[in-house]
Structure 1
Amino acid sequence: MARTRVRTARLASLVALSAALPLLAGCGEDKPASGTGTGTGTGSKEAGDKPVVVATTTWEGAFAKAAGAEDVTVIVPQSVHHAPDYDPKPSDLAAVAKADFVLYAPFEPYAAKIKEAAGSKAKLVEVNLDNDPAKAGAEVTRLGALFGTKDAASQWKTRLDAEVTKLNGELKAVWPDGKSPTVVSQVFTAWAAGLAGATPAGTYGPEPVTPAQLASLSAKKPAFVLDNAHMSTGTVLPDSGAKQVTVVNYPGEDLDLLAVYRNAAAELKKAMSGS
């Protein structure tokens, strides 16, 4: 398989252009209930064709790569920890203009604006960014059908299932005192608790924890708090005795989604083994 090409757009600000464009509420208000946008592109590719994909972040880019896309351009640099704050640039529009598909998440308000500003005929596709293995596998399968790369998507899902089974076994082997630990998770890191086979005690965020939440979650005496590296609010349950573990949802520039699971497992293993 050809190496995935990841191009991160870098040029001057889009302030003037942004001011002239309407901000489409919810990243594309014409999006149907199925979650796939109504772009005027060709949709699924013909057999043998390779889809050209633009993804707003490495997270969407990793889903595209897992689904079998080989030509993937990522717009938001990995160094931007809070992707919705990113200010698109003219070079981003140039990349979109050549795309077959533009992948975005609903919490990214600029995705539809990027596509409209570029005059692109790409298909705008909303991606369910959830690293829960079952949900991730289903989303990759959906994208593979859309891209015309079903076989590649199926092969990746097989690797995902094997990786999750392996990591789950390794984490269970280091459970403190041999028992499933009780954890509190940020809403976007609950998947990591499942990976560890942990016992969920509740979630928080994305807003800061309120005093009432603090009291309620602390009373459940969790052993660990799974914080979100990209939306951290600092120490979540101070004085509770819970050890805070940072979970990273976004893949690196190699767009390896499986590495996200391995990295989370490594952090959890260190925390649970006391190292």
Structure 2
Amino acid sequence: MKFSSLLRKALAATVCALAASAAGFAQQGRVVASTSWTAALARAAGASEIITIAPLELRHPPEYEIKPSDLLAVQGAALVVYGGYERFAKRLAEAAGGNGVRTLEVYTDNIPSVIKAESRKIAEALGTLPLWETWARSFDELTESLRRRVMAAYPARRAVVQRYQKTAAEWMGFEVAGTFGPGEPSPAAVLDLVKQAPDLVIDNYHNPTGKPVAEARKVPYVELINFPGPGGTLTLEDVYRYNAKAYLDAAARR
């Protein structure tokens, strides 16, 4: 009898936990994301209804000039997610606060550890941790598989890198010999970077300035993305596949 009673209590607790989890999924509501990058983080967190403020086709979404009509999307949202560096971040946060909507500022850097930590914050806010946990396991498998493929294509790994791609290049396994950008490098800066004898130049698609270094050094040149959009990318997984293909295509052209 005692065992039967304990079993009933355990089953009841499990049912309650599942019900609470399901309620969290049902009540998560709409997420308003500043850019395609924060939208991708929200999608990884388990959000199912996402409105993105800056259009996907923009080359540098943080520079988007927000319109009053964009701010209407905040009304009735469950959460507003932004990076803090967007030109319109303050207005978006103020609109959310004025409508009693929660805001969450996340740190954006395209390395798996940061992506998982920041998307988990969103999942905690939405009550979708089980969905996030499933996603995180799959994401780890994908990114490690892509990293191994890229490294196999680059036995020589000395690179000069656009500043905002430095951590991603290091995670991939490249030795960063120098950085440039986000502004246009001067002729003297180009010469200094060439003297670092890189095997590869890694640039930022959203603000590219490194091609003169690659041309002077006559080495492969790669433009990586941070914000989904180019090539039909939408998710974080898409971004990693896109960037891996860029690396592999450049290696094949050597």
TM over 0.5: yes
**1:221 equivalent in structure 2:** 197
Counterpart secondary structure, 2:164: coil
Counterpart secondary structure, 2:250: helix
TM-score (norm 2): 0.82
Alignment of 1:72-83 (within 5 A): 72-83=50-61
TM-score (norm 1): 0.76
Counterpart secondary structure, 1:222: coil
Alignment pair present for 1:243 and 2:223: no
Q: Report how far residue 254 of structure 1 moved.
A: 6.5
Alignment pair present for 1:120 and 2:96: no
1:202 to 174, 178, 192: 178
Letter in 2 for 1:251: P
Give the direction of change, closer, same or farther, for the CA distance of 1:264–1:254 in structure 2 (3 Å limit).
closer
**Are 1:196 and 1:268, in contact at CA under 8 Å, matched by a contact in 2?**
no
Q: Distance in 2 between matches of 1:254 and 1:235?
A: 23
Give the direction of change, closer, same or farther, for the CA distance of 1:154–1:180 in structure 2 (3 Å limit).
farther
**Are 2:45 and 2:122, in contact at CA under 8 Å, matched by a contact in 1?**
yes
**Are 1:133 and 1:191, in contact at CA under 8 Å, matched by a contact in 2?**
no
**Are 2:158 and 2:177, in contact at CA under 8 Å, matched by a contact in 1?**
yes
Q: Distance in 1 between matches of 2:233 and 2:253?
A: 30
**Are 1:167 and 1:195, in contact at CA under 8 Å, matched by a contact in 2?**
no
**1:47 equivalent in structure 2:** 24
Give the direction of change, closer, same or farther, for the CA distance of 1:254–1:274 in structure 2 (3 Å limit).
closer
1:100 to 71, 78, 82: 78
Counterpart secondary structure, 1:188: helix
Q: Report how far residue 142 of structure 1 moved.
A: 1.9
Q: Distance in 2 between matches of 1:227 and 1:160?
A: 24
Q: Distance in 2 between matches of 1:240 and 1:180?
A: 15
Q: Distance in 2 between matches of 1:210 and 1:267?
A: 26
Deviations 1:159-216 (A, max 9, x none): 11101111122122222xxx24211111222244245422221222222223443233
Q: Distance in 2 between matches of 1:109 and 1:191?
A: 23
Deviations 1:113-153 (A, max 9, x none): 13424632112211211111111111112221122111111
Letter in 2 for 1:134: S
Letter in 1 for 2:141: A
**Are 1:96 and 1:115, in contact at CA under 8 Å, matched by a contact in 2?**
no
**1:142 equivalent in structure 2:** 121
Unaligned segments of structure 1, at least 5 residues:
1-45
Letter in 1 for 2:197: K
How many residue pairs get aligned? The number is 228
Letter in 1 for 2:240: Y
Deviations 1:216-266 (A, max 9, x none): 321111111111111112624141223221111111376311110011001
Identity %: 33
**1:169 equivalent in structure 2:** 148
**1:62 equivalent in structure 2:** 40
Q: Distance in 2 between matches of 1:115 and 1:93?
A: 10
Q: Distance in 2 between matches of 1:274 and 1:263?
A: 17
Q: Distance in 1 between matches of 2:227 and 2:132?
A: 19
2:49 to 71, 76, 84: 71
